[in-house]
Amino acid sequence: MKKYIYFFILIFLSLMTYKVPVQLIINNINNIDIAGVEGTIWNGSSKLVNINDTRLHNLRWHINLYSLFLFRVDATIIGNSNSGTFRSNLSIRNNKIYLNDTLADFSLSEFYRYLPISQVNGSISARLSQIEINNSSMPIISGELFINNLNAPLIYTTTNNERVELGDYKVIFFNDGNESIRASITNLENNPIQVQGTLNISQNKSYEISGLIKSSGNQNTALIQGIELMTGSPDSSGFRSFNFTGTL
């Protein structure tokens, strides 16, 4: 009997809030600034959303009303970052948030403040099958992203505009049971640099990028000098170890 009572209460609340303007809800949420809001909490849009200094533009959402009857919330979210687009299927259930089938394309410049080398340019194309968010631990990420046309300022340069091409890379996220975000980093074919690396983001938001690197027979003197300056001595195969750390 209790199950049916809860069911009818859920239907009643859903119908009561179906046309509630989303602005009434947003005004009571901390750390979120939102402007240009239209629609309801179930189906709406916003021209600008600022979440902890992260800006999203032209955000649109649609919540599947019927998912509430399964005691979960399913929604589709589409929007723009400062330099690209994203789309994800959001699901809230069992006190966890899931972002499924996330597609995102944006510029590496979105992460300037976190990168170990300043003014690195390039583009990122992410294809993440699932992101599981739990307040008590680090997110669990499955999927891959591609870093394309990576380039950086020359370390030794006579002008302010010289840059060196670093190529294209693939990052694969995996879950090995540790309380951290982990991923492998490898270069794509015909790359000026060969890389075998790993990414580790710890619970305290510190990150480490480490591995082995060498030039692929590239005769770019500036590139070779940069690798030698920022890495250790080469092994018998010509690979040099590297390690970058920082905090998000």
Tens digit of each residue's pLDDT (9 = 90 or more) over 136-162: 678 889 999 999 999 887 765 555 567
Residue 200: what pLDDT? 93
Residue 157: what pLDDT? 53
pLDDT over threshold 80, residue 23: no
Q: How confident is the model at residue 19 (pLDDT cuts 50, 70, 90)?
A: low
| Residue with token string 């990028």 | 209
**Least confident range of 63-67, 179-183, 239-243:** 63-67
Q: What would the pLDDT profile of 182-238 be if each residue is shown by its tens digit?
A: 999 999 988 889 999 999 998 888 899 999 999 887 667 778 877 887 888 888 888
Residue 114: what pLDDT? 65
| % of the chain at pLDDT higher than 90 | 30
Contacts of the segment 123-127: beta carbons below 8 A, 24+ positions apart: 123/84, 123/147, 123/148, 123/149, 124/84, 124/148, 126/102, 127/102, 127/103
Residue 1: what pLDDT? 43
Contact assessment for residue 219 and residue 194, using Cβ atoms and an 8 Å cutoff: no
User: Measured between alpha carbons, how far is 105 from 9 in angstroms, rounded to an integer?
Assistant: 41
In 3D space, the residue among 74, 71, 147 whose CA is nearest the CA of residue 104 turns out to be 147
Residue 7: what pLDDT? 44
Q: What tokens appear for 66 in the block?
A: 């019927």
Owning domain of residue 61: 2-247
**Number of domains forming the structure of the chain:** 1
If you average pLDDT over residues 95-122, what whole number do you get? 82
The alpha carbon of residue 160 and the mean position of all alpha carbons in its chain are separated, in whole angstroms, by: 30
